[in-house]
Structure 1
Amino acid sequence: MALSREEREGFLAEPHVAALSVDAGEGGGRGPLSVPVWYQYAPGGDVWIMTGRDSRKARLIEKAGRFSLLVDRLEPTIRYVSVEGTVEEVVPATRERLTELAARYLPAEKVASYVEFAWKDHGPQVVIRMRPRRWVGADIGSV
């Protein structure tokens, strides 16, 4: 059963790990780049991710000007949401954004140590903000 707009947006706002896909620009020689990512989203807003400034993912997103995310779950029902859209902004990451993202996925007591490690270890990062343009979502029910 298709999800309503409110259901799609509410599901995407939950802290799922997303599969990010972006055109690899390989001229048919390869499929798109698809990798797991943490993301942030609030209903009605834009989606943002954080990645290495010089990563393959960042370069491909910059070239394509768009990307898609897919999130899903199996319990209590099989549900998924896919969102695709255009890149609206790429800005240097801040420690505050890293903390916000880590707090979405990690237990509170682990956030500070993860942020300290990631800020020092992961190198320069960027925040890429995407405006959702196309949505697909369904709840298949329980099996």
Structure 2
Amino acid sequence: MNLYDLTSNWQHVYDMDLDEDTWLDTLNSIDEEIDIKANNIGFLIQNLTADVEGYKKEEKRLADKRRVAENKIKSLKSYLQDNMERLDRKKVKTDLFSFNIQRNAPSLQLTDEQLIPQKYYTVETVRKYDKQAIKDDLKAGQVINGAELKTSQSLRIR
């Protein structure tokens, strides 16, 4: 029986009009089953948490490997381009690959931002709230329209 059904059964028995001994025995037996289900859920959560930690480590390991491969690609391209330029060869063609050195589209480099005319500036405003200050003021008893402190509950597993 699943936890939902056990909870429903417990509530149903709780609402029944039985003699006290039968009522307590039945509720206790359902409680024991609920404890077993909760224990199993705890083990499942513990295993999944360990899986998540393993996935995080693997993500980091793979990201590191990706960066190494990207750096190798960049280095090999630069190595080939440098040697082609030293030989004054703009093209190299093999049976499998064609290598060409060509001009890239122009890119902008700002050499002195102070000298750029004002008409090229845009103003971007980003509205951010200092949530910690709002929280502190609300805790101190201030009333702030549009904000309130909210208390919630969560399951803790030890």
Structure ranking higher on relative contact order (CA contacts 8 Å, 6+ apart): 1
Select the structure that is richer in strand: 1
Shorter-chain TM range is under 0.3
Q: TM-score, normalised by structure 1?
A: 0.16
Q: TM-score, normalised by structure 2?
A: 0.15
